[in-house]
């Protein structure tokens, strides 16, 4: 048998320790060759006053092993604590989050007996950059960041995954009818990358109707690739409608590191009762075994799991009177799987893992396109509680200079100057746009913006933020206000 592979294991919080114990037992019985380094992360570390929830010794282990097998952890609410999951994913560059959601009808109750969807979620960008600000009394802001290299590698990963796993179609979900620039880029890059994979059918859905279709007819989908937030939400939906949120595992893949877990959380209400279904973490482990070159062990364990499910030995979350034969706790479920090691399912399709199944982990180096970027104006975000948009407009116009003129004032993205609809709610936060004339070939430098800031300050205008307006090869790199 092959050499033992070092991995870092965290037993987590809530139901974490119970399901981790169960899964490590199954892996051992299956013959997995693992050299386990155990680390503590999460609640206990937060409670020690470390807001990151992870200590240097755990990072050292991860740098050594490069493979993290992690049970769910509890993120304390508020208190300046950052989600450890997001921190680990970003610190280790785990850009792709792969979540297969499969139904096991007729053995596990589901409305979708033919479901076999793999959700590939972008894992590092989008609203999860976690850049939030309170700018005024009324207004909170969260920045949604989508990058071209980020889109390229997640789209390419989804297509590579489809090829490696004999899948036929990759569907992209975005909201690019509204977020034309951020989601627009994700969609545009998806279409570009799709051209490199002519054997795979590309498809795009607007996320709202796509989500409805996924929840109603999941068998219409194969591999689905999504920006971070939509992927987070829809992978839970997909897992739940396949039978239980406790059934799906998740692989977080980067160029150098990988982390494997269940998609669900630490379910504190179920903790310490030997009730939880260990299957989600088990499927995380199956993807880990393929990742470390032990696909034959994964096949063996997965087939034993399928046989256990077929025989109706079920944890409470999937137990169904008349369908299941025996309700078992976490550890007894693991024992039942271990007892069936070497067996294959009779009705459910047997597991198939090839040794080369994994998608390419190393994206090609990013080549930044050459573009001509010109600064053609600036948005001044202003805190104002005393003036109407009309009065504010008049005040701002007195500060126009260096060819810049006020072209719009908007609040919450809605233009309220030069025209303001009576029903528009005006907050204390205004986006005031100063621009060069549209047909101008000129551009402005930072000194122009600084001069404008000075003038506005002297006129008593309170600026909370500035945002430069650029064109890229002559194309506007900013959206217009609604109604502008």
CB of 105 to ligand NAD, least distance (A): 19
| Residue 269 within binding range of ligand NAD, rule CB under 6 A | yes
| Residue 261 within binding range of ligand NAD, rule CB under 6 A | yes
CB of 70 to ligand NAD, least distance (A): 7
* CA geometry: angle 300, 303, 305, nearest 5 deg: 110
> Where do we find the tokens 């913006």?
449
378: number of Cβ within 10 Å = 20
Q: Binding residue for ligand NAD (CB under 6 A) from 8, 61, 65, 75?
A: 75
| Residue 65 within binding range of ligand NAD, rule CB under 6 A | no
User: Which stretch in 95-103, 174-182, 276-284, 422-430 sits in contact with ligand NAD by CB under 6 A?
Assistant: 276-284
Q: Binding residue for ligand NAD (CB under 6 A) from 171, 242, 277, 431?
A: 277
| Residue 270 within binding range of ligand NAD, rule CB under 6 A | yes
Nearer to ligand NAD, 174 or 252 (CB): 252
- Residue 382: enclosing H or E segment and its boundaries? strand 373-383
CB of 189 to ligand NAD, least distance (A): 27
Residue 170 φ/ψ, nearest 5 degrees: -120, 125
Burial pattern 282-299, b for ≥16 Cβ within 10 A else e, equals bbbbbbbbbbbebbbbbb
Residue nearest to ligand NAD (CB): 265
CA-to-CA separations, 291 to 62, 245, 288, 314, 479, in angstroms, rounded: 16, 23, 5, 28, 42
| Residue 74 within binding range of ligand NAD, rule CB under 6 A | yes
Q: Binding residue for ligand NAD (CB under 6 A) from 265, 363, 389, 481?
A: 265
Nearer to ligand NAD, 70 or 187 (CB): 70
Six-digit token pair at 445?
């430098």
Nearer to ligand NAD, 74 or 165 (CB): 74
CB of 273 to ligand NAD, least distance (A): 11
CB of 340 to ligand NAD, least distance (A): 20
| Residue 120 within binding range of ligand NAD, rule CB under 6 A | no
| Residue 266 within binding range of ligand NAD, rule CB under 6 A | yes
Residues 289-318 that bind ligand NAD (CB under 6 A): 317
Q: Contact at 8 Å (CB) between 239 and 245?
A: yes
Residues 197 and 212: their CA atoms lie apart, in Å, by: 27
CB of 250 to ligand NAD, least distance (A): 8
How many residues sit close enough to ligand NAD to count as binding (CB under 6 A)?
Answer: 21
CA-to-CA separations, 298 to 99, 251, 289, 303, 333, in angstroms, rounded: 16, 14, 6, 8, 17
User: Which stretch in 158-166, 168-176, 259-267, 350-358 sits in contact with ligand NAD by CB under 6 A?
Assistant: 259-267
Residue 471 φ/ψ, nearest 5 degrees: -110, 150
Q: Binding residue for ligand NAD (CB under 6 A) from 267, 289, 309, 338?
A: 267
Residues 221-240 that bind ligand NAD (CB under 6 A): none
The torsion angle over the Cα atoms of residues 330, 336, 342 and 345, rounded to 10 degrees, is: -90
What count of Cα atoms within 13 Å lies in the side-chain half-sphere of residue 312? 7
Q: What is the DSSP letter of 137?
A: S
- Sheet bearing 429-435, strands edge to edge: 414-417, 405-411, 429-435, 373-383, 462-472, 475-476
Nearer to ligand NAD, 132 or 346 (CB): 132
Q: Which residues bind ligand NAD (CB under 6 A)?
A: 15, 19, 72-75, 85, 245-246, 261, 264-270, 276-277, 280, 317
């Amino acid at each position: 048998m092959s050499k033992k592979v070092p991995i870092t294991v965290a037993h987590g919080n809530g139901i974490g320790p119970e399901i981790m114990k169960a899964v490590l037992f199954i892996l051992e019985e299956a013959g997995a060759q693992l050299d386990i380094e155990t680390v503590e992360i999460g609640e206990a570390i937060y409670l020690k006053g470390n807001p990151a929830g992870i200590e240097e010794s755990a990072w050292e282990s991860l740098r050594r092993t490069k493979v993290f097998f992690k049970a769910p952890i509890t993120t304390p609410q508020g208190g300046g604590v950052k989600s450890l999951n997001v921190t680990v994913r970003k610190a280790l560059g785990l850009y792709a989050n792969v979540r297969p959601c499969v139904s096991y009808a007729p053995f596990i109750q589901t409305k979708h007996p033919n479901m076999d969807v793999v959700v590939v979620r972008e894992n590092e960008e989008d609203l999860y950059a976690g850049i939030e600000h309170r700018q005024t009394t009324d207004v909170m802001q969260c920045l949604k960041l989508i990058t071209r290299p980020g889109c390229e590698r997640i789209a390419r990963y989804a297509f590579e995954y489809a090829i490696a796993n004999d899948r036929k179609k990759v569907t992209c979900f975005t909201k690019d009818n509204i977020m034309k620039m951020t989601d627009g880029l994700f969609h545009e890059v998806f279409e570009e990358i799709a051209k490199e994979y002519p054997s795979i059918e590309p498809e795009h859905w607007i996320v709202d109707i796509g989500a409805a279709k996924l929840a109603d007819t999941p068998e219409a989908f194969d591999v689905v690739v999504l920006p971070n937030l939509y992927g987070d939400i829809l992978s839970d939906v997909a897992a739940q409608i396949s039978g239980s949120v406790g059934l799906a595992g998740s692989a977080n893949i980067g160029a150098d590191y990988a982390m494997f877990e269940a998609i669900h959380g630490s379910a504190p209400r179920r903790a310490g009762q030997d009730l939880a279904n260990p299957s989600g973490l088990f499927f995380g482990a199956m993807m880990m075994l393929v990742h470390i070159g032990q696909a034959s062990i994964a096949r063996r364990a997965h087939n034993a799991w399928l046989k256990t499910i077929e025989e109706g030995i079920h944890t409470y979350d999937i137990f169904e009177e008349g369908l299941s034969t025996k309700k078992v706790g976490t550890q007894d479920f693991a024992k039942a799987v271990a007892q069936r090691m070497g067996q294959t399912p009779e009705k459910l399709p047997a597991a198939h893992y090839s040794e080369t199944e994994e998608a390419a982990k190393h994206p090609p180096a990013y080549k930044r396109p050459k573009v001509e970027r010109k600064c053609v104006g600036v948005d001044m975000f202003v805190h104002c509680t005393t003036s109407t948009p009309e009065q504010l407009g008049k005040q701002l116009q007195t500060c126009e200079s260096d060819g810049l003129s006020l072209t719009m004032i908007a609040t919450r993205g809605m233009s309220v100057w030069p025209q303001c609809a009576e029903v528009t709610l005006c907050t204390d936060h205004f986006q005031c746009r100063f621009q060069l004339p549209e047909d101008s070939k000129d551009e402005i430098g930072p000194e122009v913006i600084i001069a404008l800031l000075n003038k506005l300050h002297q006129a008593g205008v309170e600026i909370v933020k500035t945002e430069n307006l650029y064109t890229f090869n002559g194309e506007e790199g900013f959206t217009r206000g609604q109604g502008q």
